[in-house]
Amino acid sequence: MKYFSTLDSVKNYIFTMLLFIILSFNISIIFFGTSIDDSTRIILATISSVFSIVIVIIGIKAVNINLKQIKDIYNVTNRAANGTLFDRITNINKDTQVGQLSWNINDVLDQMEIFTRDLDNSLKMISEGKSYRRMYPSGLKGDFVKYSNNINIALERIATAQSKDAFIQDMLKIVEEYKNNNYTHIIDTTGMQDDIIGLANGINQLGKSLTDLSLENLHNGLALQNGAKTLASNVHIINNSAQEQAVSLEETSSSLRKITSNIKHNSENTLKMKEYANDVTQSATKGKALANKTARSMDDINVQVSAINDSITVIDQISFQTNILSLNAAVEAATAGEAGKGFAVVAQEVRNLASRSAEAANEIKSLVENASLKANEGKKTADDMILGYEDLSSSIDNTIELIGEVTIASKEQEVEITQINESVISLDKKTQDNVSVANETNIIAIQSNDIAQKIVEDAKSKQVIGKDNVHIRTKLVDLDYNGNERRKVENKIRHHEPL
């Protein structure tokens, strides 16, 4: 400003004026020099002077305008030289050289300011992670275009690095999640740079492996849990059964002991029965002999009775003849009259005797007949006895034979019962072994269940895709099983392939 105020001095002003006056005189002399007369020359000189004055006035104005423009140029360039590219020259007269200069300066400042702002904004944006902003070389000139393009290459590099960094940060986050047992996230490799895509694939593979492992663990845990539960329940059944069996066996054992002793007793009894049977045989033989004797005695009695009968017949004939004699005597006595009276009495007496003899003989006869009847009955009885004894002997023989068989059978039974008893004792021991094995198995089942519980809890605590779709096959070979099949055998059966 100070400089321009000194420049704006009278000296320079007059200098400029003189310059224009001399210039107009020269023009007058060149155009109107020697070819015209003085009066005309005076007129022309006057016109020339007026013209010169007008030019001078215009010149003064032009100088004023130029001076203002130059002042602006000075101010604007001075500020620009100090790093402030903001100001421009305005109200420019394009037709002057100063005006042209002003526009050039404005254009230069535009180039510089637009370039630097574009650069500043691009850098700001990329610093904020907005990697899509680039420099716009369009409208810039020369070196500025070159610089812009070079800067854009650098921005591209930075953007790539930022993108990679963002991808790597994402990967780190996912790995961090893996550490916290969350395997649900997968790295999206869309737009990822080739040199880190391998890393991303590796992490994804790791995630998949971890997922598979967790699912496998969960699956196995659930299967183990299922198995342990079944085992525990089965062990419980076995345990109960074994205990019941042990009780039953004990009862069986005691029953067997009783049976064994009974069989022994039976054996002894059969021996006794044999002895008794032998005794009975002897008695029967004796009885038979006695019966035979009795039969013979009865025969003898019959003979004696016949003899008695003969004797009685003789007595009876005597009685009859005596009676007739007495009757004859009575007749004779009656003929003899009185002399015969006494005799008649005797004859009567004799007749009485004869009658009494006949009565006696009849009584004896009837007694003897009765005796004979009894003797015959006795014989018959003796004969029956003989037959009876013979039957008895035969029955006893059969009985003895049966007793013998029973004895042998009893012996055999005894041996077998002893073997059964030994088996029962062995069975009892084994049952007790089973009980203790069942108890140990139960402990193992409980432990297995605990382990399974821990595995399942652990597996469930992990965040894994497909966790809720893990099913357990309920049978060893379960064709209805629709979970994640891991066994080839099931698939083969399902697809009717040879095992």
Partner 1 sequence: MAKNKINPTNNEKILGKDDFIVSKTNTKGIITYCNQIFMEMAQYDEKELVGVNHNLIRHPDMPRVAFKLAWEIIQSGNEFFGFVKNLQKNGGFYWVFTNITPDYDENANIVGYTSVRRKPNANAINTIIPIYKKLVELERGGDLRASEEFLMNFLKENNVTYDELIISLQGEN
Residues in contact with partner 1 by CB under 8 A are 86, 88, 90-92, 103, 106-107, 110, 113-114, 117-118, 121, 130, 132-134, 136, 138-141, 152
472: left (phi over 0), alpha (psi -120 to 50) or beta: beta
Pick 152 or 294: Cβ nearer partner 1: 152
Pick 104 or 370: Cβ nearer partner 1: 104
Q: How far is the CB of 78 from partner 1 (least distance, A)?
A: 16
Q: Sign of the CA dihedral 344, 347, 351, 356?
A: positive
**How many residues belong to the chain?**
499
Pick 112 or 465: Cβ nearer partner 1: 112
The answer to whether the CB of 48 falls within 8 A of the CB of 33 is no
Q: How far is the CB of 166 from partner 1 (least distance, A)?
A: 15
Q: Record the tokens describing residue 119, joined without a space.
A: 């650069």
Residue that has been written with the tokens 């009980």 in this structure: 435
The number of angstroms, rounded, from the C-alpha of 140 to the middle of its chain's C-alpha atoms is 76
Q: Which residues contact 136 (CB under 8 A, 6 or more apart)?
A: 118, 148
Q: How far is the CB of 104 from partner 1 (least distance, A)?
A: 11
120, burial (CB in 10 Å: exposed 0-12, middle 13-18, buried 19+):
exposed
The answer to whether the CB of 174 falls within 8 A of the CB of 207 is yes
Q: Record the tokens describing residue 322, joined without a space.
A: 């005596």
Q: How far is the CB of 143 from partner 1 (least distance, A)?
A: 14
Pick 103 or 481: Cβ nearer partner 1: 103
Pick 117 or 494: Cβ nearer partner 1: 117
Pick 152 or 357: Cβ nearer partner 1: 152
Q: Which of 68, 70, 63, 50 is nearest to 12 (CA)?
A: 63
The number of angstroms, rounded, from the C-alpha of 5 to the middle of its chain's C-alpha atoms is 104
Residue that has been written with the tokens 């399902």 in this structure: 494
Pick 40 or 90: Cβ nearer partner 1: 90
Pick 92 or 470: Cβ nearer partner 1: 92
Q: How far is the CB of 8 from partner 1 (least distance, A)?
A: 25
Q: How far is the CB of 468 from partner 1 (least distance, A)?
A: 31
Q: Record the tokens describing residue 3, joined without a space.
A: 């400089």
Q: Record the tokens describing residue 102, joined without a space.
A: 């002003």
Q: How far is the CB of 132 from partner 1 (least distance, A)?
A: 5
Task: Classify 130 as helix, strand or coil.
Answer: coil
CB atoms < 10 A from the CB of 13, how many? 14
Q: How far is the CB of 109 from partner 1 (least distance, A)?
A: 9
- Rg of the chain over Cα atoms, rounded to whole angstroms, equals 83
Q: Record the tokens describing residue 448, joined without a space.
A: 């297995």
Pick 106 or 439: Cβ nearer partner 1: 106
Cα separation, 193 vs 167, in Å, equals 9
Pick 52 or 69: Cβ nearer partner 1: 69
Q: How far is the CB of 96 from partner 1 (least distance, A)?
A: 14
Task: Classify 478 as helix, strand or coil.
Answer: coil
Q: How far is the CB of 106 from partner 1 (least distance, A)?
A: 6
Residue that has been written with the tokens 């040879």 in this structure: 498
